[in-house]
Chain A
């Protein structure tokens, strides 16, 4: 009896240890010193969450009119805008290269190319097959134009930060005046959601160093800056949410497919597990072990 009790205890402890071990990996990933991101209340959260197409369209508009002036998205092509679950997906055009909205959006942009006749560098209208135009010809130019640090590519930004979409939303809408006692460095801005350690720049109470860090990017959004035609509020908060959702989509464009496939896989495995367990019980029936 004792042996059995101990064995089940050991099983319990071992299972707990494994679960604990998995959890232990997570806190190691948290960045230190920054304020915890606020929730953007996104539609794509949770196991059944999907992207809100209207929000992705607005987010693209904000990216295109504001962010794209400095930030590239080198992993994105204009055709991606018409992909399934993307901002301009239209079931009538399973091949997004045929999607007229996508074609029109691409055409608004000029991209560098080589003239196939003369070999001279030219500018031409983009096509759906083109990559999103980079604001700078190369990384050195990007750094030179921004005080020495190139603005990061935004293609996978929502995966490159912990709690990505909420982080982007919080950062963009979370600029506030630096607390008194904080020395702001030249060309830097205070943001409570930016990772960093402000201790060296803090002259106030040592036990209450403000959360956050310095960011080179000045507050990029203003109320009314981008015109929405769907009646959504034209506020910094809404812009930040929409562009965060857009970047979440560019980071993980197959998320909806992934979750939908996962649902089928889990249901299948549950049924398979039930059948296998029933067979197992039947085969072992009457066999002492």
Chain B
């Protein structure tokens, strides 16, 4: 038990040094953010050893994102019902156990199942650790706590691809998941020792769980994801199951909206969308989620699949994005309160668009450093988007509606991301087929290129 002196010194954390609390909750959060990025460079390897195609391997990313998204709006209820500390412990445990199963997965089906579990366990980590941090520090030191949090969130994506690539190349992609196990065990130990629930959570009275709302949410997000991920393979509406799934998707979606509209005590209260700024923010975070996750998933895949890089080199090449956001974050903290956030947002998005256009100028002859500057700049631009977007969207939301608002907001980011990845992988397949036909249409036996190749003068 902490001594009375310690109690007096750190009343908010019941006698524990708040920095110990910070480390305890940042460990699993760091791990969770790291994990999204780690898997993205290992995709071709996962595909290879589970005898899956590349587009099937991206389900490893999308299934995680969807499970993550579904848990987000529910996490507040769980935290109040079971106690925040206990819920956090449960989440970390589920995440760690699921990581083991991801690593040990013998087939695509098992790894997807394990990823869904992992996503469900990891979804609540970010909001939980954020609220624990906010309550562990006195108001004057809160900005430091948020800086520590932001640092963790920003550094993890830098390390992710590089560490993941190194583990994949040196050992196996399986170790990119196994690495969570020791971290998870340490986190469970530290949380159970250092984190304590404040009294208001211990005495929280919670209403009944919105079973119907949660169920409908799972059905529509799940159906949407399955259709988008697997539709291309089975020729969309040509397959009977796609028609059924779309029917289920539409019905569940309408049901969910109706439920969330008429039941203000439910999981999500959609009345908050009446607020214009929040509505706009929701639209933009979904689009932003698409943009970010497409870049996270597709760029390493490009380097590995088209240019033949190893996982580690691909990780090194895309790593500078994290450095960009690392530099950008303190700058945005400084500028955020001085400049109209709309201008910052607009600049961030424009920067991101320019970078994406530069990505679109690549050819098969580029080197590892060709895209260095645009990759750095995307990270920089993204840090200009995240914080002002959250600030703008919630600027007109009242304090007590904040939990509901951030739950919905973060859920939309993840759903946008998984839709984006699914659409991008589909587009890759369809556009490649289209371009192949178009280029092939100009290849006749008398084409100069073919003549040159078949003539005995060709140099291979």
Is A bound to B?
Answer: no
Q: Footprint of A on B, CB under 8 Å?
A: none
